[in-house]
Amino acid sequence: MRAGLSTVATGGVELPAIEVERVPHAAEPRSQASKLTTADGEAIDPREVNAKLEGLGAAEAIAWALETFHPRLRFAASFQKTSSVTVDIVSKLTAESGASPANFFYLDTDVLFDETYMTRDALAARYGIEFQRFSGISLQEQADLYGDSLWARQPDACCGIRKVEPMRTALTGIDCWVSGIRREDSQTRAGAAKFGWDKRFGLWKLNPLADWTESEVWDYINEHEIPYNPLHDAGFPSIGCTHCTRPPGADGDARSGRWADAHKTECGLHG
């Protein structure tokens, strides 16, 4: 058997080997953005941009990204609380500028909570957004290939199939993507820059809410009366797939309820 592969036996039948390396340390670049330029073609230093963005608010950072990259720019939506904030900011900026609508997308693992789909629909109705859906193979195909409940046996491989591979498709043909991660989320995200090169997917990445606190997120949502995922009110600070998400313990950080039994806190999209 080749290195990096494992087999699954079900009912005495050996299923095809699964490539655990579906979640890579680095992916081949899918974008041709090897240098950063403004919309007018003026070359600028990404390090200087990040230093500048660190001193700007989220709306200013997003406005800069729209001016620099749109329409080769996509906003990821997980339909958690930070997605609600980003959708509101972007919608107001594009309305004020008269620009064409921004591109929003989401990864549908087919095992998202009902409340997550409800939040998607509520935001779509409120802001007139069509969220582009990206997904991988069906759950049945995954079970046929690798056995049932892959998320319980090999969560990295499951995330690779259901999230990382669709993400590569979602980021094809663009120069920059925008996420809602925050430094407060977990230790693995504490050093997140507001802007930089995403080595995993081979394009630029903006984290406009990187320096926001939990209180700032909720203050913004409440002030602007934005729809948000009701699971946050049920003790879920971080929300993923149904099988791998639970409320964190009293001593855990916001993401400790994700893959709680797997010594894992990231799905492979952010490192």
Buried b (16+ CB within 10 A) or exposed e, 41-54: eeeeeeeebeebbe
In a domain, 41, yes or no: no
In a domain, 33, yes or no: no
Q: From its phi and psi, is residue 24 left (phi > 0), alpha (psi between -120 and 50) or beta?
A: beta
In a domain, 83, yes or no: yes
In a domain, 184, yes or no: yes
Segment 175-198, tens digit of pLDDT: 999 999 999 877 776 888 899 888
Please choose, from the candidates 237, 15, 255, 258, the residue with its C-alpha nearest in 3D space to the C-alpha of residue 156: 258
Question: Can you name the residues that pair with 49 across neighbouring β-strands?
Answer: none
Q: What is the pLDDT of residue 263?
A: 58
Catalytic residues: 267
Whichever domain contains 171, its CATH number is 3.40.50.620
In a domain, 191, yes or no: yes
Domain of 187, in residue numbers: 59-244
Q: What is the pTM of this model?
A: 0.80
In a domain, 116, yes or no: yes
Structural domains in the chain (count) = 1
In a domain, 216, yes or no: yes
Q: How confident is the model at residue 38 (pLDDT cuts 50, 70, 90)?
A: low
Segment 74-90, tens digit of pLDDT: 999 999 999 999 999 99
In a domain, 64, yes or no: yes
